[in-house]
Structure 1
Amino acid sequence: MNKFKIFSVALLASVTVSQAQDINQAKKAIDAEQFDKAKSMLKSIIKAKPSNGRASFLLGNIYLNQSVTDSAKIYFQKGLAGSDNGKLNYIGLGQIDLDSNNKAAAQTNFGLGTKGISKKDVEELVYVGRAYMNAEKPDYKSAIAILNRAKINNPSDAQVQLALGDAYFGDNNQNEAYVAYRNAFQADNSLLRAKMQLGVLLKGAKSYDEAIKAFNEVIALNPNYGPVYRELAETYYKIARNKPSKSVESLKTAIGFYDKYMSLTDYSLASRMRHADFLILVGDYKALEIEANKMKQLDKVNPRILRYLGYAAYENGNVDLAKTSLESFISNPANKIIAKDYITLGLVKIKKGTSADGLSVNPTAFKEGLAIIKKGIDLLPIAVEDLNEVGKKLFAQKLFKEAAAIFELSTSNKESRNYLDDNVYYGLSLYYDNNRKDVKADPIALQKADAAFANVIVASPDYQEAYLYRARTNRLLENDAVMIKAYQDYVDKTTQKGAEELAKPAVKTKFIEAYNNIAVIYSKTDKVKAKEYLNKTLAIDPANQYALDALKTLK
């Protein structure tokens, strides 16, 4: 019996060591974003030892970070009864409380999760800090506060420093984030995520070449570390956005790196969804359609697949499938709707109501689509940036009234990167829509056009065309004083650009327009001034019939 007891204890110790090793392997899989692999390992540990609270906590955290809250809660609640680090699961439940905006309950659970820890313990504090960061509404300052407690307990702990780096990064404190990431990697040079995050900081600062260099240093240490390829993909996407001349080449490189990332992580539904989000980002809707159909084979009931199918179908010209997919997704109250869902469905409605030749839109369909688009803008005001190309396409089709309605939305947010461009097209759309023989000019619409051109002038004083169209708009409004000033400003700004600009035939034509229209106004009150401007016209075009006739009248 004694021998048997000794053997049993030895066996138990062996199992415990083995499980600890398995936990560490699962952690490595999580860090490498191999989530299906990590889930499989953790489920095996729990099956072998249901009392392993740490395994339940880690598994619950994976589900929580993948927005599968119900499964996360089940594992956290099971883990509470675990004899091995069961209290960690209170921290997981605390994050669920934060997601539900129940801060008091979260504080209670965090207190239970950290109860009785010694001054040297930091693990629980790190997880609380990450809970604050990973919540749907991140609270980086609270994370920093609790992680600084952990730092006092153990300043050289790599995980504490890594978490602090993430918290400072989220709080837009780049300098402190850099110090923390550097300290983390110095404390543990196997912690590749810390070194990778130094490159992420450079990417955020738009130092793209330096970021790529930093990521390549990570690859030199471990070419199979998947997350670094995702960061490279996102860096090349940023290059494509910021350097249009390199757009095609950079997007191709970005997609290649993302494919590499997928091959080194996993092809689970969660990973495919992340891939789908990236494909939307780079605008590869053909690939998105393929990915969405693969996801549908994996899980026919997951509602987010309808979102991807809807986006892809709209961009690839299948408006009926786009309509049914997005309407099904949005109508489900359990789904978390984002701005792009509404905006895309609104555009689907408009596209469905557009004639085959693209020259007319059913007014009812347009009104319905616009109302849905507004819902998206209400959810996320900066989403107006997605409307620029839509408005331009309507403008190119000479659907000026519809284009103006789109640009009215997109000019509502001064933070938009397209704010200047959208104001130009908003003003032009209103002007052209009201400068037609078949319609009576709407003074309110023209006043909006005038305001749009005024916005352009404030933002870009050297853009001379804004002065020209402001003059033309005020001519329709019969606002003589503003018209004269705007025409004169156009002439002055254009003249400043030099002889080469003045020699252009189109510019000469516009100068004649300006001089003749100014002369018309002065002919009522100041004949000397009127003659002066008419002679300026004749200096450009001695045969200009209007100027010649007007001068005869003035004599």
Structure 2
Amino acid sequence: MKMISKISKIVLALTLVGSSSVFAQSLADAKKAIDAEQFQKAKSMLKNLTVTQANKDENFFYLGWVYILQEYPDSAKAVFQKGIAVNPKSALNYAGLGAAAFVDKDKATATTNFNQAVSLAGKDSKPYLYVGEAYLLNDVDGKVPAADANAAIAVLTKGKTVNPKDAEILVALGDALRTQSKNTEALGNYQAALDIDPKLAHAKVATGVIWKYANNFESSETEFKAALAIDPNYGPAYREWAETDVRWAFADPKMASAKIKEATDQYKKYLSLTDLSIESRMRYADFLLLSGDFKTLQTEAAALAGAANGNLKVYRYLAYAAYENKDYPAALTAMNTWITKADPKRIIPRDYVYLGRIQIESKQDSLGIGSLRKAIELDTTNVAVYSEIGKALYGQGKYMEAANAYNIYTQKSSKATLNDYLSKGLSYYKAFTDQYYSKATPKPIPDTTLLVKADSAFAHIQQKASAPVPIVALYQARANDFKEPDRNTSKGLAKPFYEQYIQLQTAKGVKDTDKAFMAEAYAYLGVYYEYKEKDDAKALENYSKAREFDPTNKTAAAYFSRKGGAVKGK
């Protein structure tokens, strides 16, 4: 489904103009701007505060926190260190240093700084808040690794004990619980936060997000509207509303057109309420990626890549979009730029998935398979990649490796389809035939257990499919035929499957492309009746049908050649 093409006009219709208003210079206003995702505005205010109130360490912390949210951990670290220089016992800035290390995947340093922040916090709950928030920075599509989420829950719970009336702590605790699908507990914390501060728009939006992931879209909208009733200019409410509309469109095709239009409108409002910085446009790119509007994403990413103060991350978007648009040369160039120039700590498993896909489409199959394997090394839970590896290996004729990849996928994924089982069965079957027909010296002994595994995969399909599948019955017949030592000692293992194939294909209708397979099935039955049953009439009947379907069938031709005039005219 083509998603939100109308959104392509949003950024073009909005220009990057500076605000002529004079920013308020209080820390409270700067924090409000951060919460509203007006990061350039907040950064400008905080830079000023670090000069005019240079003795206040919290000014440095919040400036550093903006850099963290904008994914500039090195800049954040430098600012936090300045805050500690102002106040060596600044718990907030130690929390910030921990966050910078955590983003850089230096968990040992992060833990040291988090512990220092907590030890210096005293009765101040804010250091607990930002340590907890830091643990949630690795959010991907609303999920956080369980270990990080649990660490966040633990420290935020301690912060709640320090100050039960800190509404921000309660919201953050709700966010941490939400990432682990502990929605009832999360909702309880959001409501507790609202009981303390009824004008906390963030808590209303967070509640709406819970309903979004539960696909209760009407309730989500109610919460977003409630947030905007509190603050009509609260941009994050429009952003989450837009993303909810996109999810709604995917979930309910009947609502797709209306919800796509709404998503466009909501995101346009969100952008108008931010400062239209590079970071805001990067969020727009995130939205386009979420919605699947890859055409617009490629255009916007290309524009961002040309910006003087651009973020390297834009090459990730450009690579993803170009791949989805089948522009493989552009995708390969962009992904190589991202992989080689970005800090290695910023590379995520999905980058290697896309790199592998791009390389395979660029006829660099071996490199592509290696990249897909790298993705699994980085995220062992992403078992879907095994299916892609299997497909690539199968295309290279590496059937045994392909079979192993498909086997892992079908065992570990609840989303494996019957087509995946077919690919698995075919891979095992062809791995066996490679051995059987090998001309290597010494000739390998064919591993008949591969036939058993192939047959098991085929049987699974026939059991689970709404109706037996003719081609699967054919491959079951072939696999069982290979189990026979020779025709003279045949047990007829393939017979029921070839008969099933004939029945199913006849009922479905025999096309020209099926005739050779029909001849194969009848020729087998001819051999069975000739050698096993010694039934000349049945043998002749089946060989004749094989010849009717395919006059070039070698088994049938050999039979008539052997019999000569005895079956002439039959």
TM-score where L is the length of structure 1 = 0.72
Q: What is the letter of the counterpart of residue 164 of structure 1?
A: L
Work out the CA distance in 2 between the residues paired with 1:394 and 1:60. Answer: 47
Contact 1:474–1:482 under 8 Å retained in 2? no
Q: What is the letter of the counterpart of residue 461 of structure 1?
A: Q
Query: Against the structure 1 CA distance between its residues 178 and 112, is the aligned structure 2 distance closer, same or farther, given a 3 Å change threshold?
Result: same
Q: What's 2:314 paired with?
A: 305
Contact 1:276–1:308 under 8 Å retained in 2? yes
Contact 1:427–1:448 under 8 Å retained in 2? no
Q: What's 1:471 paired with?
A: 476
Contact 1:32–1:225 under 8 Å retained in 2? yes
Contact 1:350–1:369 under 8 Å retained in 2? yes
Work out the CA distance in 2 between the residues paired with 1:366 and 1:393. Answer: 7
Work out the CA distance in 2 between the residues paired with 1:210 and 1:520. Answer: 68
Work out the CA distance in 1 between the residues paired with 2:57 and 2:109. Answer: 21
Contact 1:57–1:88 under 8 Å retained in 2? yes
Q: What's 1:8 paired with?
A: none
Deviations 1:169-222 (CA, angstroms, capped at 9, x unpaired): 233322211211222223222112212222222222333444344434434554
Matches within 5 A, 1:42-191: 42-82=46-86, 86-99=90-103, 105-115=109-119, 117=121, 119=123, 121-134=124-137, 139-191=148-200
Unaligned runs of 5+ in 2: 1-21, 140-144, 485-490, 561-565
SS across alignment from 1:186? helix
Instruction: Give the superposition deviation at 1:346.
Output: 3.5
Q: What's 2:285 paired with?
A: 276
Q: What's 1:30 paired with?
A: 34
Q: Which moved more, 1:47-56 or 1:124-133?
A: 124-133
Work out the CA distance in 1 between the residues paired with 2:523 and 2:174. Answer: 65
SS across alignment from 1:303? coil
Q: Which moved more, 1:405-414 or 1:135-144?
A: 405-414
Q: What is the letter of the counterpart of residue 421 of structure 1?
A: N
Instruction: Give the superposition deviation at 1:156.
Output: 3.7
Matches within 5 A, 1:405-484: 409=405, 412-413=408-409, 414-415=412-413, 417-427=415-425, 451=453, 454-455=456-457, 457-458=459-460, 461-463=463-465, 464-465=468-469, 467-474=472-479, 477-478=482-483, 483-484=494-495
Query: Against the structure 1 CA distance between its residues 101 and 393, is the aligned structure 2 distance closer, same or farther, given a 3 Å change threshold?
Result: closer
Work out the CA distance in 2 between the residues paired with 1:257 and 1:20. Answer: 27
Q: What's 1:367 paired with?
A: 366
Q: What's 2:4 paired with?
A: none
Instruction: Give the superposition deviation at 1:92.
Output: 1.0
SS across alignment from 2:198? coil
Instruction: Give the superposition deviation at 1:309.
Output: 2.9
Contact 1:401–1:429 under 8 Å retained in 2? no
Q: Which moved more, 1:509-518 or 1:334-343?
A: 509-518
**349, 355, 360: which one aligns with 1:339:** 349
Instruction: Give the superposition deviation at 1:126.
Output: 1.9
Work out the CA distance in 1 between the residues paired with 2:299 and 2:550. Answer: 62
**197, 211, 215: which one aligns with 1:206:** 215
Work out the CA distance in 2 between the residues paired with 1:382 and 1:419. Answer: 18
Work out the CA distance in 1 between the residues paired with 2:225 and 2:478. Answer: 55
Work out the CA distance in 1 between the residues paired with 2:248 and 2:458. Answer: 27
Unaligned runs of 5+ in 1: 1-17, 354-364, 495-500
Work out the CA distance in 2 between the residues paired with 1:435 and 1:249. Answer: 54
Instruction: Give the superposition deviation at 1:287.
Output: 1.0
Contact 2:165–2:196 under 8 Å retained in 1? yes
Q: Which moved more, 1:130-139 or 1:161-170?
A: 130-139
Query: Against the structure 1 CA distance between its residues 352 and 195, is the aligned structure 2 distance closer, same or farther, given a 3 Å change threshold?
Result: same
Contact 1:454–1:470 under 8 Å retained in 2? no
Query: Against the structure 1 CA distance between its residues 424 and 462, is the aligned structure 2 distance closer, same or farther, given a 3 Å change threshold?
Result: same
Query: Against the structure 1 CA distance between its residues 426 and 106, is the aligned structure 2 distance closer, same or farther, given a 3 Å change threshold?
Result: closer
Q: What is the letter of the counterpart of residue 43 of structure 1?
A: K
Q: What is the letter of the counterpart of residue 456 of structure 2?
A: A
SS across alignment from 1:298? coil
Q: What's 2:142 paired with?
A: none
Query: Against the structure 1 CA distance between its residues 312 and 132, is the aligned structure 2 distance closer, same or farther, given a 3 Å change threshold?
Result: closer
Work out the CA distance in 2 between the residues paired with 1:117 and 1:343. Answer: 42
Contact 2:458–2:475 under 8 Å retained in 1? no
Instruction: Give the superposition deviation at 1:526.
Output: 4.7
Instruction: Give the superposition deviation at 1:76.
Output: 0.5
Matches within 5 A, 1:179-258: 179-242=188-251, 254=263, 257-258=266-267
**293, 302, 308: which one aligns with 1:293:** 302
Q: What's 1:357 paired with?
A: none
Contact 2:319–2:332 under 8 Å retained in 1? yes
Instruction: Give the superposition deviation at 1:277.
Output: 3.2
Work out the CA distance in 1 between the residues paired with 2:510 and 2:261. Answer: 39
Instruction: Give the superposition deviation at 1:73.
Output: 0.7
Matched, 1:324 2:326: no
Work out the CA distance in 1 between the residues paired with 2:425 and 2:508. Answer: 25
Q: Which moved more, 1:290-299 or 1:406-415?
A: 406-415
SS across alignment from 1:274? helix
How many equivalent pairs are there? 506
Q: What is the letter of the counterpart of residue 354 of structure 2?
A: T
Q: What's 1:15 paired with?
A: none
Work out the CA distance in 2 between the residues paired with 1:259 and 1:385. Answer: 35
Q: What's 2:15 paired with?
A: none
Instruction: Give the superposition deviation at 1:46.
Output: 1.3
Query: Against the structure 1 CA distance between its residues 352 and 427, is the aligned structure 2 distance closer, same or farther, given a 3 Å change threshold?
Result: same
Query: Against the structure 1 CA distance between its residues 435 and 94, is the aligned structure 2 distance closer, same or farther, given a 3 Å change threshold?
Result: closer
Query: Against the structure 1 CA distance between its residues 390 and 280, is the aligned structure 2 distance closer, same or farther, given a 3 Å change threshold?
Result: farther
Work out the CA distance in 1 between the residues paired with 2:86 and 2:455. Answer: 67
Work out the CA distance in 2 between the residues paired with 1:267 and 1:256. Answer: 16
Contact 2:156–2:173 under 8 Å retained in 1? yes
Contact 1:53–1:85 under 8 Å retained in 2? no
Contact 1:388–1:422 under 8 Å retained in 2? yes
SS across alignment from 2:150? helix
Q: What is the letter of the counterpart of residue 72 of structure 1?
A: A
Q: Which moved more, 1:198-207 or 1:382-391?
A: 382-391
Deviations 1:114-163 (CA, angstroms, capped at 9, x unpaired): 446555x4223222222333368662223222322233343343222112
Contact 1:430–1:445 under 8 Å retained in 2? no
Query: Against the structure 1 CA distance between its residues 91 and 371, is the aligned structure 2 distance closer, same or farther, given a 3 Å change threshold?
Result: closer
TM-score where L is the length of structure 2 = 0.71
Work out the CA distance in 1 between the residues paired with 2:294 and 2:69. Answer: 26
Instruction: Give the superposition deviation at 1:89.
Output: 0.5
Deviations 1:37-69 (CA, angstroms, capped at 9, x unpaired): 211221121121112211211111121233311
Q: Larger RCO: Structure 1 or Structure 2 (Cα < 8 Å, ≥ 6 residues apart)?
A: 2
Contact 1:384–1:409 under 8 Å retained in 2? no
Query: Against the structure 1 CA distance between its residues 279 and 435, is the aligned structure 2 distance closer, same or farther, given a 3 Å change threshold?
Result: farther
SS across alignment from 1:461? helix
Deviations 1:397-441 (CA, angstroms, capped at 9, x unpaired): xx79599988975664332634543333454578799999xx989
